[in-house]
C-alpha cells in the first residue's frame, strides 16, 4: 500500500501538468490569441477542486495538524510558509476566474487579458517551488516523524477526502489535466 506522502506526490505530478501549461497559455494570450473560455473554466475548476480542496485539503486538514501534534511548528518554516503559499495560490485562481469572466464578456478588454496573463504566470511561478519544498523537505520529514500505523491512518483519512469529493470528479479532473 502506498503511503500518504506518495499519494500527495502523485497528486503533485497531476498538478504540475496544469502548472506547466500555464506559461504557454500566458504567452499565447500575450501574442493576441483569443481566450479559450472552456479551458480557463476547466483550469479554475481543476485548481479549486483538485489542487485546493483535494490536495491542499489533505495537507491543511489532516497532515499539518498531525505534524503539529508531533512537535513541528505550525507557524514559520515549513508549515506556515506552505500555508501562505496555499493562500497565494487561492488568490491567483480567484484572479484567474475574474479575469476569464471579464474576457468572456469582452474579448477586447486589455486589462482583463493582462490580468489573465498575470495570474497564469503567477501560478507557473508559485507552484514549482511549492511542490519542490513539499516533495523534498516536508514529505521526507513526514516519513521520518510518523510511525507506520500513523501513516496508514493518515492514508485512510486521505482516501476519505477523495471519497467526499467523489472519485468520478477526481478522475475527470485528472483526465482534464492530462489532456492539456
Cell 504557454, located at residue: 24
What gap in Å lies between CA 57 and CA 120, rounded to an integer? 22
What gap in Å lies between CA 26 and CA 29, rounded to an integer? 5
Q: Which pLDDT score, from 0 to 100, does residue 1 have?
A: 66
Give which of 173, 148, 175 is closest to 54, Cα–Cα. 173
Q: Do the beta carbons of residue 93 and residue 44 sit within 8 Å?
A: yes
Give which of 49, 82, 87, 54 is closest to 68, Cα–Cα. 82
CB atoms within 10 A of CB 18: 22
Give which of 12, 7, 49 is closest to 169, Cα–Cα. 49
DSSP helix/strand/coil, 1: coil
What gap in Å lies between CA 180 and CA 31, rounded to an integer? 19
Residue-level pLDDT, tens digit, the chain, 180 residues: 689 999 999 999 999 999 999 999 999 999 999 989 999 999 999 999 999 999 999 999 999 999 999 999 999 889 999 999 999 999 999 999 999 999 899 877 899 999 999 999 999 999 999 999 999 999 999 999 999 999 999 999 999 999 999 999 999 999 999 999
- Phi and psi at residue 25, in whole multiples of 5°? -65, -40
- Return the CATH superfamily for domain 4-179: nmb1532 protein domain like (1.20.120.520)
Grid cell digits, residue 152: 496508514
What gap in Å lies between CA 20 and CA 123, rounded to an integer? 9
CB atoms within 10 A of CB 114: 13
What gap in Å lies between CA 126 and CA 120, rounded to an integer? 10
Amino acid at each position: 500500500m502506498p503511503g500518504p506522502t506518495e499519494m500527495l506526490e502523485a497528486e503533485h505530478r497531476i498538478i504540475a501538468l496544469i502548472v506547466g501549461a500555464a506559461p504557454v497559455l500566458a504567452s499565447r494570450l500575450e501574442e493576441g490569441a483569443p481566450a479559450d473560455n472552456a479551458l480557463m473554466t476547466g483550469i479554475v475548476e481543476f485548481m479549486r477542486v483538485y489542487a485546493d480542496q483535494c490536495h491542499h485539503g489533505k495537507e491543511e486538514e489532516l497532515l499539518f495538524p498531525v505534524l503539529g501534534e508531533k512537535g513541528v511548528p505550525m507557524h514559520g518554516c515549513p508549515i506556515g510558509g506552505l500555508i501562505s503559499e496555499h493562500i497565494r495560490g487561492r488568490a491567483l485562481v480567484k484572479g484567474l476566474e475574474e479575469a476569464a469572466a471579464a474576457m468572456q464578456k469582452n474579448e477586447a478588454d486589455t486589462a482583463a487579458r493582462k490580468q489573465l496573463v498575470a495570474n497564469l504566470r503567477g501560478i507557473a511561478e508559485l507552484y514549482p517551488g511549492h511542490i519542490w519544498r513539499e516533495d523534498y523537505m516536508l514529505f521526507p520529514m513526514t516519513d521520518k516523524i510518523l510511525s507506520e500505523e500513523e501513516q496508514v491512518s493518515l492514508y485512510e483519512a486521505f482516501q476519505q477526502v477523495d471519497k467526499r469529493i467523489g472519485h468520478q470528479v477526481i478522475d475527470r479532473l485528472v483526465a482534464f489535466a492530462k489532456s492539456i
